[in-house]
Amino acid sequence: MNNLRQQFIEFSVKAGVLRFGEFVTKAGRTSPYFFNAGMFNEGAALGQLAQFYARTLIDSGLQFDMLFGPAYKGITLASATAVALAAAGHNVPFSYNRKETKDHGEGGNIVGSELKGRVLIIDDVISAGTSVSESVEMIRAAGATPCAVVIALDRMERSGKDAELSAHSAVEEVTKSYGMPVISIGNLNDLLEYISGANAELMRHKAAVAAYRERYGVA
- pLDDT recorded at residue 215: 93
- The answer, as to whether pTM is greater than 0.85, is yes
- To the query of whether residue 205 is one of the catalytic residues in this protein, the response is no
pLDDT (tens digit, 9 = 90+) per residue, 30-60? 999 999 998 999 999 999 999 999 999 999 9
pLDDT digit string (tens) for 103-153?
555 557 899 999 999 999 999 999 877 889 999 999 999 999 999 999 999
**pLDDT tens-digit series, residues 154-207:** 999 998 766 567 889 989 999 999 999 999 999 999 999 999 988 888 999 999
Q: Which residues in 26-61 are b (16+ Cβ under 10 Å) and which e?
A: ebeeebbbebbbeebeeeebbebbbbbbbbbbeeee
| Percent of the chain predicted with pLDDT > 70 | 94
Q: What domains does the chain contain, in order, with CATH numbers? A: 3-216 (3.40.50.2020)
Catalytic residue among 14, 26, 102, 176: 102
Provide the pLDDT confidence category of residue 209 given band limits of 50, 70 and 90. Answer: very high
Task: Check if 161 is active-site.
Answer: no
Terminal-to-terminal C-alpha distance of the chain: 18
